[in-house]
Amino acid sequence: ELKVEQNPLFLSMQEGKNYTIYCNYSTTSDRLYWYRQDPGKSLESLFVLLSNGAVKQEGRLMASLDTKARLSTLHITAAVHDLSATYFCALSQVGGSQGNLIFGKGTKLSVKP
């Protein structure tokens, strides 16, 4: 059974600082997703990582995937207040139905001035 663990679950950062969110998973998966969720809102797709060594960047966020270590990271560079949100990683199970994503518990990020 695929399990997804994120850490930290809560992260308070100062503006301008760098930090990394970690996503570990227990079994082989063929794709990994990162989502952002603002309070009371839906999920916004940030990145989809498909292969070992994949790295994607958008603005101050960079995601990477190491399938051998079963680890993905979401790196935040020079944080700004607008990045405050909850970030989820999610994976699809190999052999499972396409829409069956297994989510981590999320990392609640708060960026303070």
Partner 1 sequence: ETGVTQSPTHLIKTRGQQVTLRCSSQSGHNTVSWYQQALGQGPQFIFQYYREEENGRGNFPPRFSGLQFPNYSSELNVNALELDDSALYLCASSSPGQGAHGYTFGSGTRLTVV
By CB under 8 A, name the binding residues for partner 1: 4, 31, 33, 35, 40-45, 48, 50, 88, 90, 92, 96-106
Q: Which is nearer to partner 1, 42 or 113 (CB)?
A: 42
What the block records as the tokens of 95 is: 């052999």
Helix (H) or strand (E) holding 13: strand 10-14
For residue 48, the minimal CB distance to partner 1 (Å) is: 5
The one-character DSSP state at 96 is S
Rounded Cα distance between 5 and 28, Å, is 14
For residue 31, the minimal CB distance to partner 1 (Å) is: 7
Q: Which is nearer to partner 1, 74 or 106 (CB)?
A: 106
Q: Which is nearer to partner 1, 50 or 78 (CB)?
A: 50
- The per-residue b/e assignment along 60-84, b for 16 or more CB within 10 angstroms, e otherwise, is ebbbbbebeebebbbebeebeeebb
For residue 54, the minimal CB distance to partner 1 (Å) is: 12
Q: Which is nearer to partner 1, 6 or 13 (CB)?
A: 6
Rounded Cα distance between 24 and 46, Å, is 18
For residue 21, the minimal CB distance to partner 1 (Å) is: 13
